[in-house]
Structures are given as structure tokens and as C-alpha cells.
């Protein structure tokens, strides 16, 4: 969506101690296939903080119905994760003198992650404009979250329209040793629902 709006894209992914690094390979492949100018991986050791099923020794929940997903902050919530990742992206943006940051958070399908809500994104943007040399110099930093109010079904449809190769993408929180998705974690279930709703077969499954 950023490319379609005419932006040159400097993509950043994070090796933050998540259980699986398959998503980093997928991010690299997707960035390359969509014509990113550059893709960097920044390392930050969130295992030193812990507190999440994605970084700590806590089981990833499986086979949860959508209502259970919506019932509270899940154990897969990584404390302050989007704040940490947006902050690191903001640091690189300052070096690049880039005032437009895009993040793919999505608030609609389930309400459990506080750092996926529009009011959070607005507050981060206000803070970013005070935190940085760009802000002091009068450039207006904008945090774009174009997927935030879309359903998973709408996201899949929009991606297909834009030519996203979904066979390169990866969503699972807890793949097996061979890197295959578990098909049972919240992320796999929501992905499946999105493809089903859009009436499109998932080429990565």
C-alpha cells in the first residue's frame, strides 16, 4: 500500500528473540518481491524482559474460538512490543530523514492487543514529533496504519488486488521444526478465516 502511494520503502524487521525466525525470512522475501529499496533486520533481545508466549517459556494457545481471542490480552502479547518496534523504526527513520512510517497493525478482528488501537497509534505519533530532531526541525512525522480498521478478509482481498504473493508470507506463532505452520494458533486461525472469507485459497498452506 505504501509502494502504491509512491513511497520508496525502507523496510525493517526485528529479530527480538521470537520463537521462530521463519517470519524474518518471509519478511525479506516479501520486501524484495514488492520492490523495497532496502530491508534491514534489527536485533533486540526481548527475552531479557520475558513475559510473553512468543519470547518466554509459555505455551502458545491452540484451537481457540474467536470469542476467546477477543476476551482479553492474550499470552502471546509481548509487553510494549509495538512501542519498542516503532521506536526502533523511528530511529532509522531519523537517520533516513523519512517522516512517514507504516506499520501493519490490525485492531478489528480481536481487541486483545492494546498497542494495535488507533488511539495508541495517534499517541505514538504525537510523542514521535516531540522526540526527534525531525520534529524539532518542523517536519511532521506520520505513523500510517492502513490495515488497522480492515477485516482480515478485506486485507487478503486488497493484497490480491495489489499483487502480493501470499505464498511468500508467514503468520504462524508456533511452527514445527520443519518451519510448517501449526494451523491451530490464533494467528493461523485468523489467517484461515481471512482467506476463507475472501473465497481465495491460501497458497502458503
Binding site for its own copies (CB under 8 A): 40-46, 48-51, 73, 77-84, 87-88, 90-95, 114-115, 117, 119-120, 123-124, 126-128, 130-133, 135-136
Contact in structure between 15 and 42 (CB atoms under 8 Å): yes
Per the listing, cell 522526540 goes with 131
Q: What DSSP state is assigned to residue 10? A: E
Q: Under 8 Å CB-to-CB from 124, ≥6 apart: which residues?
A: 83, 86, 143
Given the complex with its own copies, which of 49 and 204 has the nearer CB atom?
A: 49
Question: What CA–CA distance (Å, rounded) separates 109 from 85?
Answer: 21
Given the complex with its own copies, which of 48 and 178 has the nearer CB atom?
A: 48
Question: What CA–CA distance (Å, rounded) separates 72 from 33?
Answer: 36
Given the complex with its own copies, which of 41 and 162 has the nearer CB atom?
A: 41
Given the complex with its own copies, which of 114 and 197 has the nearer CB atom?
A: 114
Report in angstroms how near the CB of residue 196 gets to its own copies at its nearest: 30
Report in angstroms how near the CB of residue 26 gets to its own copies at its nearest: 19
Report in angstroms how near the CB of residue 4 gets to its own copies at its nearest: 27
Backbone angles phi, psi at 151, to 5 degrees: -80, 165
Report in angstroms how near the CB of residue 41 gets to its own copies at its nearest: 7
Amino acid at each position: 500500500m505504501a509502494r502504491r502511494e509512491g513511497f520508496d520503502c525502507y523496510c525493517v524487521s526485528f529479530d527480538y528473540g521470537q520463537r521462530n525466525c521463519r517470519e524474518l525470512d518471509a519478511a525479506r522475501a516479501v520486501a524484495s518481491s514488492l520492490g523495497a529499496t532496502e530491508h534491514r533486520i534489527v536485533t533486540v533481545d526481548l527475552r531479557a524482559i520475558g513475559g510473553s508466549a512468543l519470547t518466554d517459556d509459555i505455551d502458545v494457545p491452540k484451537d481457540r474460538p474467536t470469542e476467546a481471542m477477543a476476551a482479553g490480552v492474550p499470552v502471546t502479547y509481548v509487553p510494549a512490543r509495538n512501542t519498542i518496534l516503532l521506536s526502533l523504526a523511528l530511529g532509522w527513520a531519523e537517520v533516513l530523514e523519512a517522516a512517514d512510517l507504516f506499520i501493519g497493525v490490525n485492531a478489528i478482528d480481536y481487541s486483545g492487543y492494546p498497542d494495535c488501537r488507533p488511539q495508541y497509534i495517534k499517541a505514538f505519533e504525537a510523542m514521535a514529533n516531540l522526540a526527534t530532531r525531525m520534529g524539532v526541525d518542523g517536519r511532521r512525522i506520520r505513523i500510517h496504519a492502513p490495515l488497522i480498521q480492515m477485516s482480515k478478509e478485506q486485507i487478503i482481498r486488497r493484497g490480491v488486488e495489489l499483487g502480493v504473493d501470499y505464498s511468500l508470507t508467514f503468520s504462524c506463532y508456533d511452527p514445527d521444526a520443519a518451519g510448517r505452520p501449526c494451523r491451530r494458533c490464533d494467528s493461523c486461525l485468523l489467517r484461515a478465516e481471512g482467506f476463507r472469507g475472501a473465497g481465495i485459497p491460501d497458497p502458503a498452506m
